A and B are shown apart, each in its own frame.
Chain A
Amino acid sequence: MKSVCFLFFIFFASSSIVSAQNDGRIVYRISTERLSIDDNESQAKQKVYKLLNSLSRIRDSLYFHLDYSNSESLFYLNKNKNIGMSNEKGYNSVVRSFNTVYYVNNETGNIIEQTISDGNYLVTSSTDEMNWDTTKEKKIIDGYLCFKAITNIKAQSLTKGEYLKKIEAWYCPSLPLNIGPKMYGNLPGLIMELIDGKLTYYVDSMDLNPKFKIQIDKPNNGKKISKKDYLSRQPKITKDNFEEYIGN
């Protein structure tokens, strides 16, 4: 009985610490799924896979911040921190693939993705469009009990066109923050791990009681466009138009 009371105390105490402190910073990093290189494959494929694996080392060296203050949060690449790979060939290319800043307001449901492609864009969407299926699958991450949730989001790919992309999240209820990497959140606990394609975002460190000021600057530089319209602008390569893009 005493041990049960003690566990309840610890749970509520930790929840109180997180909820009483409305500002904080979660630091994420990425683990890229490595490509297996088969000696029976063509030289061309072996070569390009080795290249992509070397670029994965660079990607996995990056640090991302998820800053939150009350109902707002901001997810972005920390360009000031690197572990000495900035002189590696391909570093700038990898960093550029993470130039999107994600702003989420859980009170209004607004999501803004500030991104640069053929111009500066503010891509808008809503947290209402994200519907999670929670599962009973669980695991311990850094000492926290976490559960798995899955969502399928509308995405646009150069090769697939419009499709539904599966995203997996491991959220931890004992960390009552409904936020996570990129624009993913709205789960009853902080997302400690997020699997997006071949990339797994994971928590590197947490500062739930920062001594520095957390400032959430809502992105405002760019042309406003809905997510639907932004996705529809993306090109699609098919067998019919292949030679317009490749090999010409």
Chain B
Amino acid sequence: MRRTRTELVLALALGALLVYLIVVPVSTIVWGSLGTTPTGIPGPRTLAHYRTALSAPTFVGSIRTTIAFAGGVTVVATLLGGYLAWVTERTDAPGRRLVYLLVLVPIVVPGILTTIAWILVLHERIGIANGLLAAIGASRPRFDAYTLPAMVWVEGFDSLTLPFLLIAAALRTMDPAVEEASVLSGASTSRTAFRITLPLVLPAVSAAALLVFVRAIGSFAVPAAMGLPGGVRVLATEVFLAARRFPSDSNLAAAYAVLHLALAAVVLALHQRITRHGDRFVTIGARVAHNGRIALRRTRTVHAASALAILGVAVVLPLVVIVVSSLLPRPMPPTELDPSLFTLRRYAWALESVVARRALVNNVVVGGLASVVTVVIAAIVAWVSTRSRLRWRRLLDILATAPIALPGTVLGLALLWWYLIVPLPIYATRWLVGIAFVTAFLPYAVRAAAALLGQLSPALEEASAMSGAGWSRTFARIVLPLVAPGLIAAWLYVVARTFTSLALPALLAGPGGEMLPSVVYDLYESARYSELNALGVLMIGGMLAIAGLARLSAILADRWSGLVHDPSTSGERGATPTGIARQERTAE
């Protein structure tokens, strides 16, 4: 009886907190979209703003553009990620470790930096690609960064990590004998891949595709940096612009945001439907004694080369552009590139700039704290939803996972409204960004924590209870220490997200509250490419250090878990994913 009461109190407190973090902002924006008066002032409700929004050609156009953009990104990212997953998990192509390492890099590189690097490559006038074309005699530029195809290209390459991890996980649990049976039926490698392997992982592939779609709908860095200058507007940028015009037509902005959210929510709901039946085709191999990789023979090097080429374009090229550009006094065509011009002056600027330093402090303090809060809430949500005997315990889990469908711009706008009404002195401060971080990244932390607890035998807690310990003692002395290394990895993943997120600080932070990605965006808007890339190199260096820490804690978590977990559940073939990979995979 006592335990149930503790659980109830805990669950109610958590429920209230989640409602405040997630339901309240969403309700605020829905309520605002129906209003006729400025925020917080009572007045009659109306659907007029939706009518206005849906009859405005630019807005309807942006819905179409959003779907085209997200659709294109989904195709590019799922094809590339799926192909890379197949090469690394199902074939004997060399270089799998390198693929695994490179494919994770986009997690720690802020999207706004990658985007700007691609702009420097594809820009119509100053772009490297057109520069090279001109050098070989092209009469006119062929590439233009500020177009929809360029946006799809950049976001697609930057998004391949998620489908890679999800499809690789599905391929890893597949019984290799189903492919071998096909090969021994006389089928070639490609026939086996398309007729057997692909259909079997199709549920995982569609689930991955829909998640990429949801994320692309909410994506902000590429639409802002590439779409806005070229007049290619998607819902995320429409909401952003409407919010910046704030408060002149705030109710209309809210209607934009609700429609944006609705689109993402519909796709997420579709994803949930698919994943509910998604296990239908997974055939788990019993006692797999052999690694069961398909021997590619003559095409081994071809596949290895094309996998590394994809990652070279997706990951290495932007990084090289960022580094080289940070050393140059100004953007210059590759033909004029001269190492004697290289200078470290921009680094000196980046290290001494007051704005950059302030942003770094904000990122460290706000991001670090918000990540701690996120992971603590996530751990308790995961515990209640996996361990308690409350009938509606799953509701907390669902609620905490829902913000996946919440685009950053929509969340930002919603929080702006709410804290305008609520008399708390955090409006337009960095702390508002912190609250937004908690809401936005809670889903990933909850999934990670739930996965950790799922591996932990309940008997360990029951043994503690039988030893006379109460709930709090058991949680503090048994559960937390056992999942701590995994939670630290989850925390570092969330920290990485707070350092790479652009939409939330761009919308929410007032002067003095900037974060590093928003500083980069401001530098971009004033075309200070060398400065922003120097700052970017320093950021990426820091992020890689965080990734190293995450890897370390994941190794510790594995070593630790070997002592208490059922070894049969941790059977893993092939390359070992890093801690961050694990977080990303479990997070989705």
Q: Do A and B come from one complex?
A: no
* Contacts from B to A (Cβ < 8 Å): none
* Contacts from A to B (Cβ < 8 Å): none
